[in-house]
A and B are shown apart, each in its own frame.
Chain A
Amino acid sequence: MDSLQLQNIRKSFGSMDVLKGVELDVTRGEFVVFVGPSGCGKSTLLRIIAGLDDQTSGDVRIDGKLMNGVPPAKRGIAMVFQSYALYPHLTVAKNMALALTQEGVAKAEIDTRVATAAAMLRLEALLDRRPSELSGGQRQRVAIGRAIVRQPSLFLFDEPLSNLDAALRGGTRVEIAKLHRQLGATMVYVTHDQIEAMTLADKIVVMNGGVVEQVGRPLELYNRPATKFVAGFIGSPAMNFIDGATAARVNAAAVGVRPEHLVVGRDGSWSGTISHAEHLGADTMLYVEVPEIGLFTARIPGDVAHDVGDIVGLTPQEGRLYRFDREGRTMTG
């Protein structure tokens, strides 16, 4: 049975259509990530699943039950917010217990569940503290703990790592992945960070302008993007796109090649001047200005001797050139 089912979800604010008919099925235990640029409707979609906003039309089903108009607390969901949203006047333990108290769960049961969640998230020592006495990372763990104790059929994460600094973000990402394996629960996760999407997801939903561009496993999206938008959005640095005469030669409106699939040599398909170089140790990013076409990014493993001002040739690896038609769809064959 599907854990979550969205059928033709539409949402308009006044005359503005934020979601234009979203269809999605999420099977039990899956980790689904909604990813897209800001304003693509991913957060709105999550809020509709949570019941915090109502869809203009369409059906939301959780565990097969129709949830239209059902209040958030009765949907069997738990949500983790970007700003943690802990109750400032309650201790960590009470923050986690509040939803259960509201549901009328027995005291002993609440204590066990809070203790289990606290152990899972290494929060035992902090149970009597107030949120204001915790660091950002600890606060986010409490917010996750608050979700776990409810034993929901669906976890919702709204950009949970965006407020954390870079080092903490990596660690918490691993913890969320571990948690997903431990609990085996269905999770829906919203982010604008494609690295989080690639590393966490069983299934990525790429959204743009209120429509779902493509749904698929992370590497499927990387290797076989359905549209030019997905091709440009997944992968970092972004894919290089070339239109005009170069693309017309292969009967396409545009062609694209990823920075890591460019071979740099003395000469190649395109030649240009290096305008900037980033030496990261493991990789080197070269920004190559090709006359009449534009700026290319090339990613080369290891450190290379090329420097700003050098003239180099760029050639795409065999079979790594993507072609797109006028509507931005990927052309096959």
Chain B
Amino acid sequence: MMYTTRTSPLTRGVVHLVLVAYTLLCIGPVLLVAINSFKSRAAIFRSPLSLPDATTFDLIGYRTVLGQGVFARYFLNSMIVTLGSLGCVLLFGAMAAFALSEYRFKGNKLLGLYLSLGIMVPIRLGTVAILNMMVASRLVDTHLALILIYTAQGLPVAVFILSEFMQGISKDLKDAGRIDGLSEYTIFFRLVLPLMRPAVATVAVFTMIPIWNDLWFPLIVAPGEATKTVTLGAQVFIGQFVTNWNAVLAALTLAIVPVLVLYLLFSRQLIRGITAGAVK
């Protein structure tokens, strides 16, 4: 099955054509944002598709954004929220997956299903209830509020994917640890988690991007100046009558950078994990 694409150069060409087309489709808008962020306002509207040249090159957008000063704060907020929730999702997701796949207890399967149920129910349906909860627990306008929400949002997929992977880890290895007197926590953190790296990287990428990009919950739960995230912060440039496109595009372009770095970090792990498994 794997080799069918190798047999015919024509099939291979078509497959690559489709892939390239899809890639362009995905990258196109992002590239457009990045290109136009380096152009003057007039040039953005006159020829939005052309690259910046000597006459149209303008850093006014970046100067506006960085000149605001608060933007560094917004970036920091986004980072805190994303990394905080990512950490929680991966830690608790992996621990739950370990418990579900390692220990036999009554209702094990049912609990696994229950935990995965969240995949099918969008968390935004519960926005009103969540907001009530946050108000009642005085968490509105805190990073913690967002971290808690995003942890809840990311856990179902994390538990689902990680418990599948967890089942593939040698039972003997864990038993050897038990015989050598390692605690269950040591077995989990020192033996199991390092072997789970590729799966954890996959889950990290899936979890991270929607959190970084989210506008909904920061707007509702943490709109205050001190907790504003980048996506929410960029909205200040979008006015009811006038929109500072230079600034919006520059802010969005800057917002791509950290998440891109994180992605590259994880995807390296991901690829290393895949090849290590293949060679063994």
Q: B183's closest neighbor in chain A, by CB?
A: A102
Closest CB-CB distance, B9 to chain A, in whole Å?
38
A87 and B172 CA atoms in complex are apart in Å by: 11
Q: A102's closest neighbor in chain B, by CB?
A: B181
Closest CB-CB distance, B117 to chain A, in whole Å?
26
Is there an interface contact between B180 and A99, defined as CB atoms closer than 8 Å?
yes
Q: B47 contacts the other chain (Cβ, under 8 Å)?
A: no
Bitwise interface map of A from 178 to 198 toward B, beta carbon under 8 Å scored 1, else 0: 000000000000000000000
Is there an interface contact between A87 and B170, defined as CB atoms closer than 8 Å?
no
Bitwise interface map of A from 72 to 112 toward B, beta carbon under 8 Å scored 1, else 0: 11100111011111111100000000110011000000000
A98 and B191 CA atoms in complex are apart in Å by: 13
Is there an interface contact between A79 and B191, defined as CB atoms closer than 8 Å?
no
Q: B10 contacts the other chain (Cβ, under 8 Å)?
A: no
Interfacial residues of chain B within 167-215, with CB under 8 A of chain A in the complex: 170, 172-173, 175-182, 190-191, 194-195
Is there an interface contact between B191 and A87, defined as CB atoms closer than 8 Å?
yes
Compute the total of residue contacts between A and B using a CB distance below 8 Å: 57
A85 and B191 CA atoms in complex are apart in Å by: 10
Closest CB-CB distance, B148 to chain A, in whole Å?
33
A88-B182 contact, Cβ under 8 Å, with A79-B175, A83-B170: no
A248 and B173 CA atoms in complex are apart in Å by: 53
Bitwise interface map of A from 15 to 58 toward B, beta carbon under 8 Å scored 1, else 0: 00000000000000000000000000000000100101000000
Closest CB-CB distance, A163 to chain B, in whole Å?
11
Q: A71 contacts the other chain (Cβ, under 8 Å)?
A: yes
A72 and B219 CA atoms in complex are apart in Å by: 53
Q: A77's closest neighbor in chain B, by CB?
A: B179
B170 touches which of A72, A78, A85, A158 (Cβ 8 Å): A85
A73 touches which of B172, B179, B194 (Cβ 8 Å): B179
A52-B175 contact, Cβ under 8 Å, with A89-B190, A102-B180, A103-B181: yes
Closest CB-CB distance, A76 to chain B, in whole Å?
11
A71 touches which of B176, B178, B191 (Cβ 8 Å): B178
Tell me whether chain A's interface is mostly helix, strand or loop, or mixed.
Answer: mixed
Enumerate chain A residues within 8 angstroms of B180, measured Cβ to Cβ.
73, 98-99, 102, 146
Q: B195's closest neighbor in chain A, by CB?
A: A88
Closest CB-CB distance, B199 to chain A, in whole Å?
16
Closest CB-CB distance, B279 to chain A, in whole Å?
10
Enumerate chain A residues within 8 angstroms of B181, measured Cβ to Cβ.
72-74, 99, 102-103
Is there an interface contact between A99 and B194, defined as CB atoms closer than 8 Å?
no
Enumerate chain B residues within 8 angstroms of A47, measured Cβ to Cβ.
175
A9 and B210 CA atoms in complex are apart in Å by: 54
A84 and B173 CA atoms in complex are apart in Å by: 8
Q: Please count how many residues in chain B sit with their CB below 8 Å of the partner chain's CB atoms.
A: 15
Is there an interface contact between A88 and B179, defined as CB atoms closer than 8 Å?
no
Closest CB-CB distance, B111 to chain A, in whole Å?
18
Identify the interface centre among B175, B178, B182, B195: most chain A CB within 10 Å of its CB.
Answer: B175
Is there an interface contact between A85 and B176, defined as CB atoms closer than 8 Å?
yes
A81 touches which of B176, B191, B195 (Cβ 8 Å): B176
A74 and B180 CA atoms in complex are apart in Å by: 9
Enumerate chain A residues within 8 angstroms of B177, measured Cβ to Cβ.
87
Enumerate chain A residues within 8 angstroms of B179, measured Cβ to Cβ.
50, 52, 72-73, 77-79, 99
Q: A81's closest neighbor in chain B, by CB?
A: B172
B175 touches which of A85, A88, A99 (Cβ 8 Å): A85
Is there an interface contact between A85 and B182, defined as CB atoms closer than 8 Å?
no
A78 and B178 CA atoms in complex are apart in Å by: 11
Interfacial residues of chain A within 116-150, with CB under 8 A of chain B in the complex: 146
A87-B173 contact, Cβ under 8 Å, with A99-B180, A102-B180, A103-B181: yes
A89 touches which of B172, B178, B194 (Cβ 8 Å): B194
Enumerate chain A residues within 8 angstroms of B176, measured Cβ to Cβ.
79, 81, 85-87, 146
Enumerate chain A residues within 8 angstroms of B172, measured Cβ to Cβ.
81-85, 158
Enumerate chain A residues within 8 angstroms of B195, measured Cβ to Cβ.
88
A73 and B175 CA atoms in complex are apart in Å by: 10
Closest CB-CB distance, A66 to chain B, in whole Å?
19
Closest CB-CB distance, B1 to chain A, in whole Å?
28
Q: B175's closest neighbor in chain A, by CB?
A: A52
Q: A150's closest neighbor in chain B, by CB?
A: B180
A135 and B150 CA atoms in complex are apart in Å by: 45
Interfacial residues of chain B within 25-69, with CB under 8 A of chain A in the complex: none
A73 and B176 CA atoms in complex are apart in Å by: 10
Closest CB-CB distance, B169 to chain A, in whole Å?
11
Enumerate chain B residues within 8 angstroms of A158, measured Cβ to Cβ.
172
Q: B179's closest neighbor in chain A, by CB?
A: A72
Enumerate chain A residues within 8 angstroms of B190, measured Cβ to Cβ.
87, 89
A73-B178 contact, Cβ under 8 Å, with A87-B191, A88-B195: yes
Closest CB-CB distance, A114 to chain B, in whole Å?
14
Is there an interface contact between B178 and A52, defined as CB atoms closer than 8 Å?
yes
15 A-B pairs with CB atoms under 8 Å apart are A47-B175, A50-B175, A50-B179, A52-B179, A72-B179, A72-B181, A77-B179, A78-B179, A81-B176, A83-B170, A85-B173, A87-B176, A88-B195, A89-B194, A158-B172
15 additional A-B pairs beyond A50-B179, A52-B175, beta carbons within 8 Å, are A73-B180, A77-B179, A83-B170, A83-B172, A84-B172, A85-B176, A86-B176, A87-B176, A87-B177, A87-B191, A88-B194, A98-B182, A99-B180, A102-B181, A146-B176
> B-contacting residues of A (Cβ < 8 Å)?
47, 50, 52, 71-74, 77-79, 81-89, 98-99, 102-103, 146, 158
> A-contacting residues of B (Cβ < 8 Å)?
170, 172-173, 175-182, 190-191, 194-195
Chain A to chain B: the 10 pairs with minimum beta-carbon distance, closest first = A73-B181, A85-B172, A99-B180, A102-B181, A85-B176, A81-B172, A72-B179, A85-B173, A83-B172, A72-B178
